[in-house]
Amino acid sequence: MPALEGSVENIVFRNEDNHYTVARFRPKDSGRLFRDDLTTLVGIMPGIRTGELLTVEGEWENDPRYGKQLRVTSFTQRLPASTEGIIRYLSSGLIKGIGPKKASLIVEHFGEQTLAIIEQQPERLREVKGIGAKDCNQIIKAWAEQSEIKELHLFLQSHDVSINVATRIYKQYGKESIKVIRANPYQLAQEVHGIGFRTADEIAVKLGLPPDSLPRLASGLKYVLTQAANEEGHCFLREADLMQRASEALKASPEILPHALDILRSEQDIFVEPPEAAATATLDDEWAAEEDSAEPTNLQARIYYGPFWYAESGSARLLRSLLNSPSSLPPAPQKLWDTVFVLLKQKRNMHLTEKQRAAVQMAYNNKVCILTGGPGTGKSTSIRALLMLLRNRKVDVALAAPTGRAAKRLAEATGVQAQTLHRLLEYAPHDNSYQRNEDRPLSHQFVIVDEFSMVDILLFYHLLKALPREAHLLLVGDADQLPSVGPGNVLHDLLAGEAIPTVRLTELFRQAQQSKIIVNAHRINAGAMPSTKIEANSDFFFMAEEDPMRAQQLILDLVQRRLPARYHFNPLTDIQVLAPMYKGPIGVTMLNECLQERLNPRAFAQVELGDHILRVGDKVMQTRNNYDKGVFNGDIGWIRSISRENATAKVEFVEETGSTFVSYDFNELDELTLAYAVTVHKSQGSEYPAIVLPLVLQHRMLLQRNLLYTAITRAKRFCVLVGQPQALEIAVRNARIAQRNTALAERLLAWSKGSAQTLV
Q: What is the CATH number of the domain that holds 31?
A: 2.40.50.140
Main-chain dihedrals φ then ψ at residue 303, nearest 5 degrees:
-110, 115
The pLDDT of 754-760, averaged and rounded, is 40
- If one counts every other C-beta atom within 10 angstroms of the C-beta of residue 597, the result is 13
Decide if 278 is inside a domain.
Answer: no
Note whether 236 and 273 are within 8 A (CB): yes
Domain-ending residue, one of 37, 54, 78: 78
Band of pLDDT at residue 162, cut at 50, 70 and 90: low
- If one counts every other C-beta atom within 10 angstroms of the C-beta of residue 59, the result is 11
Band of pLDDT at residue 760, cut at 50, 70 and 90: very low
Q: Helices (H) and strands (E) in the chain — how many of each?
A: 28, 29
Q: How far apart are CA 658 and CA 661, in angstroms?
A: 10
Q: How far apart are CA 631 and CA 405, in angstroms?
A: 12
Same domain membership, residue 74 and residue 148: no
Same domain membership, residue 710 and residue 661: yes
**Cα distance from N-terminal residue to C-terminal residue, the chain:** 81
The pLDDT of 595-599, averaged and rounded, is 95
Domain-ending residue, one of 99, 127, 158: 158
Same domain membership, residue 7 and residue 94: no
Burial class (CB within 10 angstroms; exposed 0-12, middle 13-18, buried 19+) of 733: middle
The pLDDT of 499-519, averaged and rounded, is 85
pLDDT at 123 over 90: no
Q: What are the pLDDT digits (tens) for 257-275?
A: 999 999 999 888 899 988 6
pLDDT at 748 over 80: yes
> What's the CATH code of the domain at 642?
3.40.50.300
Decide if 760 is inside a domain.
Answer: no
Decide if 111 is inside a domain.
Answer: yes
Same domain membership, residue 65 and residue 43: yes
Same domain membership, residue 728 and residue 656: yes
CB under 8 Å to 55, separation ≥6 — which residues?
Answer: 3, 4, 5, 75, 76, 78
pLDDT at 32 over 90: no
Same domain membership, residue 586 and residue 656: yes
Band of pLDDT at residue 150, cut at 50, 70 and 90: low
Q: What are the pLDDT digits (tens) for 282-299?
A: 434 443 444 444 444 445
Same domain membership, residue 494 and residue 433: yes
Count of residues making up the chain: 760
The pLDDT of 750-755, averaged and rounded, is 61
Helix (H, G, I), strand (E, B) or coil at 240: helix
Band of pLDDT at residue 588, cut at 50, 70 and 90: very high
Band of pLDDT at residue 161, cut at 50, 70 and 90: low
Band of pLDDT at residue 512, cut at 50, 70 and 90: low
- pTM of the entire structure? 0.77
Note whether 473 and 322 are within 8 A (CB): yes
Same domain membership, residue 383 and residue 401: yes
* pLDDT value for 152: 75
The pLDDT of 709-731, averaged and rounded, is 94
Q: What are the pLDDT digits (tens) for 678-695?
A: 999 888 878 899 999 999
Decide if 284 is inside a domain.
Answer: no
Q: 34 is in which domain, residue-wise?
A: 3-78
Q: What are the CA-CA distances from residue 643 to residues 96, 266, 462, 663, 748 (Å)?
A: 10, 50, 39, 10, 54
CB under 8 Å to 615, separation ≥6 — which residues?
Answer: 596, 600, 602, 603, 605, 606, 639, 642
Decide if 197 is inside a domain.
Answer: no
Same domain membership, residue 582 and residue 448: no
Q: How many domains does the chain have?
A: 4
Q: What single DSSP character describes residue 45?
A: -
Q: How far apart are CA 747 and CA 344, in angstroms?
A: 40
Select the more confidently predicted residue: 7 or 510: 7
Decide if 682 is inside a domain.
Answer: yes
Q: How far apart are CA 682 and CA 582, in angstroms?
A: 12
Q: How far apart are CA 301 and CA 239, in angstroms?
A: 5
Same domain membership, residue 117 and residue 17: no
> What's the CATH code of the domain at 115?
1.10.150
Note whether 341 and 381 are within 8 A (CB): no
* pLDDT value for 344: 84
Domain-ending residue, one of 78, 97, 125: 78
Same domain membership, residue 698 and residue 597: yes
Residues 93, 20, 73, CA angle at the centre, nearest 5°? 110
Q: What are the pLDDT digits (tens) for 535-551?
A: 878 999 999 999 999 99
The pLDDT of 464-488, averaged and rounded, is 94
Note whether 643 and 614 are within 8 A (CB): no
Residue type for position 122: P
Decide if 603 is inside a domain.
Answer: yes
Q: What are the CA-CA distances from residue 271 to residues 197, 225, 497, 706 (Å)?
A: 21, 11, 22, 32
Q: How far apart are CA 282 and CA 318, in angstroms?
A: 9
pLDDT at 237 over 70: yes
* pLDDT value for 740: 92
Q: How far apart are CA 309 and CA 39, in angstroms?
A: 58
Same domain membership, residue 683 and residue 588: yes
Instruction: Return binding residues for ATP.
Output: 376-380
Supply the mean pLDDT for the chain: 85
Instruction: Return binding residues.
Output: 376-380
* pLDDT value for 30: 61
The pLDDT of 176-198, averaged and rounded, is 83
Burial class (CB within 10 angstroms; exposed 0-12, middle 13-18, buried 19+) of 125: buried
Which residues make beta-bridge pairs with 715? 688
- What percentage of the chain carries pLDDT values higher than 90? 44
Decide if 241 is inside a domain.
Answer: no
